[in-house]
Every structure is written in structure tokens, then in C-alpha cells.
Structure 1
């Protein structure tokens, strides 16, 4: 029997994390809370780094960009899922699906590039401390961030454009809670060889390449730390990159775990549930990791909140004056 093509389709259907009606209110509350915590935590990191002159350094410049990328990353998937749960709907339009996929790939790639840039920054800070400010000058930092944005955008545009050439069957159910590239591609009835090749090549170059750079940077960092004679010096050197190492381990660990487990089990619902780790949980935990393990961030956040509280008290005091 010939497959039924639907070149004029207008929408896809999400199967989501669960089809049980009684679980929908719980999922709505859980993901709304996680989304609000993610946005609030990352906004506070951005405001703290902008408002405190002590944090106007390359490391915190990259961190503020990572926080912005995390806010956008989680905003590509969670709001649509919340709207669908609230409306008791599973639908996303074809245009909306392609748009969501494009932005998801873009901000996921941006996260990867920024984590790599931050690893290079820590490498220079620990292995070449005397030349740190000369090497990591504002011009280079700006170029590194700009290059990260441009490469992520080009990759997302390429991946999305080659999906547009596909024809889809009448079975348009996505076993996920967002338009994940691999899931959407596998719904196509037309030949997906080019899409698969571009997808795998992109994963190797834009996934494996940055990971190799991060591992190389930390191998050099570990060698430099081992060469330090005093225990206090070793602790101080390690503490400067502990937060970043924790975030890298969390992001890559959950990402690789999801794709390795999905490849082994071929269970779409399990893969969708596991994807929550790197799409929602990791962006939510990043601000906590950086604030709890970093005295500068904690101090800047404390001063920022204290200033806002003081200004609010003064404003209320003036308002009560006759």
C-alpha cells in the first residue's frame, strides 16, 4: 500500500509526557513553577553582573550571556506546553513547529558554545594568570560571544531549512512535548538521508568539537593545579572553575544520557521524560550552582537586592509624607 502523503498539513500533535487527564494539573503546576524559578534565577544573575562593577570581567560577561541563553532556551518549549495543558490541546501548527524547532536548536547550540568559551576563559585564567587581562580583552570576549551567536544561528537555520523540503504522512503525532528535530524528521514519508547526514555531522562538529575543547581545557587546568605547591593555592584555583565544571557536567551528562538511553531502549515516552533534564532542569539549576558556589555572585546579589529594598523603603517613606 502506498503511503499517504500530506503536503498541505497544517498541524502536528504532541503526545506529551503523559496522556493521563488526572496528571495534567500536576504537570502544569510543576512546569510552571520550574519555568518561573528558571527565569527569575537567570534574570537575577544578569542584573547582578550588570549592576556590580566588581563583576565586569570576562567570566561574568560570559555568564550573563549564558543566563540569557538559558532563559530563551527554556522559553522555546515550556510556555507552549503550559498553554496546551491549560487548553486541553495537543496541537501545534506546522509553522509553529518549525519555528520552535529552529529556536530550540539555536539556543541549545548557543549554550554549548558559551560553555566552551567559558572553559577557555578558565583555562587562560588558571594556566596564564599574568596575561589573563591582556588575552581576554573586551574585544576578544565580544568576538567570541558574537561568533557563538552566529554559528548557532547558522546551524539552526540550516537544520530547519532542510526539514522544509520533507513531505509528511497523515500520521503527525510527535511522541514528545516539543518539536524535537529527530522526532519530526522521522515522521516524514520522503527520503530523509540528507537530513540524517546533516544532523549527524552537526552533532559531531558542533557537539563533539566543543566537548573536546572543554575536556582539553580542563586537562590543562588540572595539570596546572597539580603543579601548585600549597593546598590553599590549589583550592583557590579549583574554586574559580568549580561552578562551570558542575554546569558542564550537568548539561553534557543529562544530554548524553538522554540520547544514549533513547538509542538503547527506543522508548519515545521515556526519552521525552528524560529530555526534561537538559531542557528544563539544567537551565533551572544553573543559577543556583553559580550563586551557591561563588562568593562574588552571592555578594553581588545581596548588594543588588539590598539596594532595591532600600530604594523601595525610601519611596514608601516619601509617599507617606504629608
Structure 2
């Protein structure tokens, strides 16, 4: 009898930010500018790493792939968000929501692994400089990038299947800006404890593997830097990985606050802002972070802009 009163969910309503209609247009303009900056900034990074002869090294090869990933990552979220602001139609079909979540997880896991690969590259460059060309040859770099892109596909499909195999038979109002696991689980009917447990265990283990590799790499790097006799040598060694360290801190820091802290410690509106931080703001800052302290990137940018 109780089930007869339920309505089977065929689409979700993305509630987004709790603002009035007047602010919808303002938010549309703001996020459109952000999206264009992401496309142009990361597009420039891709262009210079592919065309400038001085940037044909493993570090910039990974940076070009990372910039391409950032464009894909934000393109999963922002076009739908902009459509919601523009048309005021915030609905998303069940299938589209599943596809968005699946690609979001795939690209998010790829970012975790690619950041780990970039950290390992810096470790080899600083701690084993004589063997660097041999260890990080072009074939190895391509293999590392391919593994980063495909390794997250199976687990992302499994996670998406687990979430959408649940019954959604009550409210279809998804209090978020895109289809993510925590807000979807709140709408699921019945007992979701086992699903939540398996989802979070897989996600934590998957993200932890890449984070531990990054942590190990930086422990080795910092240990070596502290042993260098000259301050100039320490500064030069640290400057080669400073940009990557900032990106890692922004990405993992916001994810840790979002997913690892108790849900009672922050509101749903805070969750929305934090989710946008690592999905949108980090990709926007990526070209700035990697160019401000990098003379080679600045010189290459000047060349391409003058042309």
C-alpha cells in the first residue's frame, strides 16, 4: 500500500543555488566567463606544449595532457549548469544524470592518477637526474598517460551502476548543481547503508592510492632538497615542483573537506560551493599557477601571442 503512493523517478530536478530569478542571469554570465577562461587558458597550455620546441619534455607532456583533462572535466559539469541558468529548466533525465556521474567519476579518477604521475615525474627529475631521460622516456610517458586515462573506467562504471541500481521512488529534487553520489544517495528509497559503504570504500581506496604515491614522491623530494648545501640549489629544486604542489593541495584539499568531513559540519550550500571549487575553480587556476612561476611557459606564451 505504501509503495502505491510512490512515484517512480524518471528525471531529476537540479535545484542548484538558492537564488532569485534576477541572480540567475548574473550567475550565467559569471560561469560563462569562467568556462571561457578555462577553455582559453588550458587551450593555450596545450598549444604551447605541443608546438614550442623548448617544452618537449616529459613534464610539459604531462602538463598538456592535464590541461586537456581539465577542459573535459569542466565540460561534463558547466554546459548543463549554464543551460539551467539560461532556460530556468533544471530537469535532467535519469539516463543523462547517470552518464554525467559516470564521466565525472572517470575524469575525476584520471585527474587523481595524472597528478600522481606528475608527482612521480618530479621525483625522478629531482632525485634521479642522471637517469631521468632513461626512466621517463617518451614510451614510458605515453604508457603512464594511457594508464591514467583508462584505469578509472571500470571502477567508475561500477560505482555508477551501484548508485543507479537503487530505487528512486520519492522526491526527484536533487539539491546540488550536478549529479554527484552524496545527493543522489539522499534521494534513494529503502536501506542504502550497504551501498553507501561500498561506494565510499571503493572511492577512498581508489583516491588514496594516488594520494599516497604523491605523498611518497614529495617526502622523497623534500628530504633531498633539505640535504642540498646551497640555498640556490634548494630554491631551484623546489621551484620545479611548486606549481604542481599548489594544484594538488587545492584539488585534494577541497575533496577532503567535501567527502571526508562529517556531513553535519557543513551545509548543503557549502557542499555545492566546495564541489565547484575542485571541478571548476581549480581548472581555471591551473594555467595561471603553471605560468606565473615558470619562465619557460611565459616565454612560450609570449611567442604564441606575438604570432
Q: Which string of whole-angstrom CA distances, capped at 9 and with x for unpartnered residues, describes residues 138-175 of structure 1?
A: 11111111111111212221111222321112301111
Cα distance in 1, alignment partners of residues 262 and 74 from structure 2 = 21
- 3-state SS of the aligned residue for 2:187? coil
Which position in structure 1 is the counterpart of 2:104? 104
Tell which deviates more after alignment, 166-175 or 181-190.
181-190
The within-5 A match list for 1:197-216 is: 197-216=197-216
- Checking the alignment, whether the CA contact within 8 Å between 2:16 and 2:175 is kept in structure 1 is yes
- Checking the alignment, whether the CA contact within 8 Å between 1:42 and 1:71 is kept in structure 2 is yes
Which position in structure 2 is the counterpart of 1:311? none
Relative to the length of structure 1, the TM-score reads 0.91
- Checking the alignment, whether the CA contact within 8 Å between 2:101 and 2:179 is kept in structure 1 is yes
Instruction: Give RMSD over aligned pairs.
Output: 1.6
1:105 deviates by 0.8
Question: Mind listing any 5+ residue stretches in structure 2 that lack a counterpart?
Answer: none
- Checking the alignment, whether the CA contact within 8 Å between 2:162 and 2:199 is kept in structure 1 is no
Which position in structure 1 is the counterpart of 2:131? 131
1:266 deviates by 5.2
The within-5 A match list for 1:71-150 is: 71-150=71-150
- Checking the alignment, whether the CA contact within 8 Å between 1:127 and 1:224 is kept in structure 2 is yes
Query: How many residue pairs get matched?
Result: 306
Bigger Cα Rg: 1
- 3-state SS of the aligned residue for 1:186? helix
Which position in structure 2 is the counterpart of 1:20? 20
Instruction: Report the CA distance shift for 1:198/1:150 in structure 2 as closer, same or farther (over 3 A).
Output: farther
- Checking the alignment, whether the CA contact within 8 Å between 1:262 and 1:270 is kept in structure 2 is no
1:67 deviates by 0.6
Which position in structure 2 is the counterpart of 1:317? none
Which position in structure 1 is the counterpart of 2:286? 286
Q: Which string of whole-angstrom CA distances, capped at 9 and with x for unpartnered residues, describes residues 102-132 of structure 1?
A: 1111111111110000000000000000000
- Checking the alignment, whether the CA contact within 8 Å between 2:76 and 2:103 is kept in structure 1 is yes
Which position in structure 2 is the counterpart of 1:310? none
The within-5 A match list for 1:14-93 is: 14-93=14-93
Cα distance in 2, alignment partners of residues 198 and 49 from structure 1 = 40
Q: Which string of whole-angstrom CA distances, capped at 9 and with x for unpartnered residues, describes residues 243-263 of structure 1?
A: 111111111112212335562
The within-5 A match list for 1:178-193 is: 178-193=178-193
Cα distance in 1, alignment partners of residues 107 and 67 from structure 2 = 11
Asked if 1:247 corresponds to 2:247, the answer is: yes
- 3-state SS of the aligned residue for 1:76? helix
Which position in structure 2 is the counterpart of 1:157? 157
- 3-state SS of the aligned residue for 2:40? helix
Cα distance in 2, alignment partners of residues 104 and 17 from structure 1 = 20
- 3-state SS of the aligned residue for 1:177? coil
Instruction: Report the CA distance shift for 1:229/1:137 in structure 2 as closer, same or farther (over 3 A).
Output: same
- Checking the alignment, whether the CA contact within 8 Å between 1:255 and 1:278 is kept in structure 2 is yes
Cα distance in 2, alignment partners of residues 120 and 5 from structure 1 = 52
Cα distance in 1, alignment partners of residues 290 and 95 from structure 2 = 37
